Structure 1
Amino acid sequence: MTKISNIGLGTAAIGRPLYINIKNTTKESGVFNLDDFKLKGKQVLESAYEKGIRYFDTAPGYGMSEQLLIEWLEEKNDPSIKVGTKWGYTYVANFDPNAEIHEVKEHSLSKLNEQWEVSKQLLPHLSFYQIHSATLDTGVLENGDVLKRLHDIKKEHNIKVGITASGANQLEILKKASAISIENETLFSVYQCTFNMFEQSIREIDHVFKNGNQLIIKEALANGRVFSNNNYPEYNSFYSYLEKLENQFQVGRDAIILSYCTSIYPEAIVLSGANNETHLASNLNATTVKLTDTQINELSKFKVAAEFYWNERKKLTWN
């Protein structure tokens, strides 16, 4: 088995029954079985491991996924497994597929300390500890007590700390975070942000992801918008080009897109958000795709303005 270094598993979709996606389905009417859901989640973790994945991304806001990983890691004896988790979101839907509110953000020192008490159980596999969806409006990047506590965790446990960023102003957030120092040392060295063929704004600040800093790419599949959809006629040329590449490489477009991301950022970890073994296997076909420079350049031409991308994303629902 070959270990895969540049694709990791994001566990949001195996830790809670719903996630923001392109689908617009009606709410569930059946009974949600928590035990079955938990079993399926562990099966996905094991399948990812067997297929060579060694990086797993989680968060308290992802329902049971952090606890799933804690339990699953107890069964493994492999120091090559690395985990990244976050703090700042609390899952509040109680695994109810019909819940109106799924998560609540709080970037306080008390929330950091509360969630760290659980997250530290991921040690010694825990490599990255991140602020979940750092924003300017919460003031977390100016909260001296929080920043000092993160610095203490970083030093005490020899792990990297970082942020995840979303939204049309993710560049501003990343720039602000990268300039923060504690005790004459740059605090953050892990940056998890959105990048795909549509949202390419982070390419303006590639210097932030160098000098030993770790880039983690999330939402590579644009919450499903990369799949042909009549509601997005503006992407028809993009869909046609992807269909051409699918026929050439004999893989799904998910694999092509993940390959594109790893081609642009070879040192990054690109997250698969698969919640079942079939989708995971399809995603990992990315390791067999070798895009040419011409194909990479053509795919890069499909970028849209960040404001357009994020306004479009706001209209997506939990499914």
Structure 2
Amino acid sequence: MSKTKMGLGLAALGRPEYINIRDGIIPNKTLVAFRENAFSVLNFAYKQGIRYFDTAPSYGKGEQFLTNWNSKYQHMDVILSTKWGYTYVADWELGFSGAHEVKEHSLDKLIEQWQISKKLQPALNIYQVHSTTFESGVLENKDVLNQLYEIKKQTGLQIGITTSGLNQTEIIEAALKIQIKKEDLFDSYQVTYNILEQASYDILKHLLQLKKTVIIKEALANGRIFKNEKFSHYQKLYDVLDALAKKHQVGTDAIAIRFVMDNLEPTYLLSGASSKEQLEQNMKAQNFKLKKEELALLKLFKTAPKDYWEERNELVWN
């Protein structure tokens, strides 16, 4: 029904607090409980047919959970991806007042984190620069780029970038130009795209035409597609999503996910579910298809990128 395959991201599974609008249910936030839940959701995802799993060192214990799960079950058909460039520093402290993760796109950080991340092999398929920006200088750091190329040649991995923010398109355009020994360095691009943030559509379609791997994150706009009194300016969108959800007998999450699948047709779309119940609801997006007029209606709700990212930056960790 769709070219897009669903995957599972561990951003919310690996740490007790995350930038998301939660449903009011407060989970047990002990490390033991999170590990048990992560394994439970990973096993459920696999049984439901999901084969792509994405993590990062900055996802709390997310990379460790995925490594341990992968070592225990040794599924031969999973595709794993991880990242480098951010370090988790909140140390499981609830209500941590500072930045929960710290960016460092240095050669030393790449070498340090690769030594741990490579334990995900041989199931590891994609290795990504985490949250690529012009400010970090990573796209101009020849030592880092050459090291990534060496990892690519030694392992056969796809090397990718993830990007967020106002200038996603410009960052992708810059990354596309990077070649080493007349070979494109980057094969994979993980990007935010959803009903509210559609600015990267043209460049993402171009990537797909180039046979690059396109991975979509934050398809639910960090929970902003769900009815919330704090976001009254989305009331018309909520009404449309509610009507479509009733028509297709799914939740609004499935409508938002299906919009990305049908409108963009990326390689993968990541669910950020933190429970089996959420994942089950997300996966209902695979059971129907939106009509052209329904897609056209949802496309009308795109926001100005500046407004979208300013609003996202104001979301709190909870």
Q: TM-score range by the shorter chain?
A: over 0.9
Structure 1 match to 2:138:
140
Task: Output one character per residue of 1:70-113: Cα deviation in whole Å (capped at 9) or x when no partner.
Answer: 11111224321001100000001111112123111100000000
Cα distance in 1 for partners of 2:109, 2:23 equals 33
Structure 1 match to 2:81:
84
* 1:290 Cα offset (Å): 1.1
Do the aligned partners of 2:28 and 2:34 also contact (CA within 8 Å) in 1? no
Cα distance in 2 for partners of 1:212, 1:122 equals 25
Superposition pairs of residues 39-188 of structure 1, within 5 angstroms:
39-101=36-98, 102-188=100-186
TM-score, length-normalised on structure 2? 0.95
Unaligned regions of 5+ residues in structure 2, if any?
Answer: none
| Structure 1 letter corresponding to 2:131 | S
Structure 1 match to 2:263:
264
| Structure 2 letter corresponding to 1:222 | A
Structure 1 match to 2:35:
38
Task: Give the 3-state SS of the residue equivalent to 2:187 in structure 1.
Answer: strand
* 1:32 Cα offset (Å): 4.1
Task: Give the 3-state SS of the residue equivalent to 1:223 in structure 2.
Answer: helix
Across the two proteins, how many residue pairs are aligned to each other?
314
Structure 1 match to 2:243:
244
Structure 1 match to 2:298:
299
Task: Give the 3-state SS of the residue equivalent to 2:32 in structure 1.
Answer: helix
**RMSD of Structure 2 on Structure 1 (CA):** 1.8
The verdict on how the C-alpha distance between 1:146 and 1:292 changes in structure 2, with shifts beyond 3 A counting, is same
TM-score, length-normalised on structure 1? 0.95
Cα distance in 2 for partners of 1:299, 1:179 equals 33
Structure 2 match to 1:196:
194
Between stretches 13-22 and 205-214, larger displacement belongs to 205-214
Cα distance in 1 for partners of 2:28, 2:304 equals 41
Do the aligned partners of 2:127 and 2:160 also contact (CA within 8 Å) in 1? yes
The verdict on how the C-alpha distance between 1:71 and 1:23 changes in structure 2, with shifts beyond 3 A counting, is closer
Task: Output one character per residue of 1:152-189: Cα deviation in whole Å (capped at 9) or x when no partner.
Answer: 11111001001000111111111111111111111101
| Structure 2 letter corresponding to 1:94 | D
Cα distance in 2 for partners of 1:31, 1:71 equals 21
The verdict on how the C-alpha distance between 1:31 and 1:237 changes in structure 2, with shifts beyond 3 A counting, is closer
| Structure 2 letter corresponding to 1:187 | L
Superposition pairs of residues 280-319 of structure 1, within 5 angstroms:
280-319=279-318
Task: Give the 3-state SS of the residue equivalent to 1:12 in structure 2.
Answer: coil
* 1:200 Cα offset (Å): 0.4
Question: Residue 14 in 1 paired to residue 16 in 2?
Answer: no
Cα distance in 2 for partners of 1:30, 1:216 equals 28
| Structure 1 letter corresponding to 2:275 | N
Cα distance in 2 for partners of 1:264, 1:127 equals 26
Cα distance in 2 for partners of 1:145, 1:209 equals 28
The verdict on how the C-alpha distance between 1:32 and 1:203 changes in structure 2, with shifts beyond 3 A counting, is closer
Cα distance in 2 for partners of 1:313, 1:216 equals 20
Do the aligned partners of 2:207 and 2:213 also contact (CA within 8 Å) in 1? no
Do the aligned partners of 1:259 and 1:290 also contact (CA within 8 Å) in 2? yes
Task: Output one character per residue of 1:41-76: Cα deviation in whole Å (capped at 9) or x when no partner.
Answer: 111111111111000000000011111111111122
Superposition pairs of residues 206-225 of structure 1, within 5 angstroms:
206-225=205-224
Do the aligned partners of 2:4 and 2:269 also contact (CA within 8 Å) in 1? no
Do the aligned partners of 2:4 and 2:265 also contact (CA within 8 Å) in 1? no
Task: Give the 3-state SS of the residue equivalent to 1:295 in structure 2.
Answer: helix
Do the aligned partners of 2:254 and 2:281 also contact (CA within 8 Å) in 1? yes
| Structure 1 letter corresponding to 2:278 | H
Cα distance in 2 for partners of 1:273, 1:265 equals 19
Task: Give the 3-state SS of the residue equivalent to 2:227 in structure 1.
Answer: coil
* 1:39 Cα offset (Å): 1.0
| Structure 1 letter corresponding to 2:284 | N
Between stretches 256-265 and 55-64, larger displacement belongs to 256-265
Cα distance in 2 for partners of 1:31, 1:214 equals 36
| Structure 1 letter corresponding to 2:250 | V
Cα distance in 2 for partners of 1:231, 1:308 equals 15
Structure 1 match to 2:273:
274
